[in-house]
């Protein structure tokens, strides 16, 4: 289990607006939303970042993360309008919390390219 702010959220040591929870996956609203819909989907195991993913080991878990993201997006009413799934990796990628997480953003037209 990761010793990050997300580890604390998984262990319910700090509160979060949880949208989905399973044995392997947790999803909750981002505390600093950048769009009308902005939530995070994380594995419960501690994978620090994208570059630590091993396809042979984590493929099923990654599928579960995307299943959760899509299910919640539908529940939040952004399936038809669309949304963006972002994974920041490392310092230049803008990652602040070293626990793998999908950002799911929607509810407004998002700009491209990102900064």
- Residues near ligand 5GP (CB under 6 A) are 5, 16, 28-32, 40, 88, 94-97
- Pick 70 or 88: Cβ nearer ligand 5GP: 88
The answer to whether residue 99 is catalytic is no
DSSP 34-89: SSSEEEEEEESS---SGGG--HHHHHHHHHHHHHHHHHHHHHTT-TTT-EEEE---
In whole angstroms, how close is the CB of 73 to ligand 5GP at the nearest point? 17
Taking the least distance from each CB to ligand 5GP, the nearer of 15 and 55 is 15
Cis upstream peptide for 113 (omega within 30°): yes
Comparison of 6 and 78: residue with beta carbon closer to ligand 5GP: 6
Catalytic residue among 38, 58, 99, 101: 101
Task: Identify the CA nearest to 83 among candidates 111, 110, 114.
Answer: 110
- Nearest distance from C-beta of residue 33 to ligand 5GP, angstroms: 8
- Give 3-state DSSP helix, strand, coil % of the chain, rounded to 5: 25, 20, 50
CB of 56 to ligand 5GP, least distance (A): 25
Residues classed as catalytic: 101
């Amino acid at each position: 289990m990761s010793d990050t702010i997300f580890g604390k959220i998984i262990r319910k040591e700090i509160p979060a607006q949880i949208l989905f929870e399973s044995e392997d996956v947790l999803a909750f609203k981002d505390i600093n939303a950048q769009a009308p819909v902005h939530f995070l989907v994380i594995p419960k195991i501690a994978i620090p970042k994208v570059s630590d993913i091993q396809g042979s080991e984590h493929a099923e878990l990654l599928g579960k993360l995307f299943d959760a993201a899509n299910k919640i997006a539908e529940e939040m009413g952004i399936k038809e309008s669309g949304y963006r799934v972002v994974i920041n990796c490392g310092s230049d990628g803008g990652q602040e919390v070293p626990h793998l997480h999908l950002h799911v953003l929607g509810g407004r037209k998002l700009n491209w390219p990102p900064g």
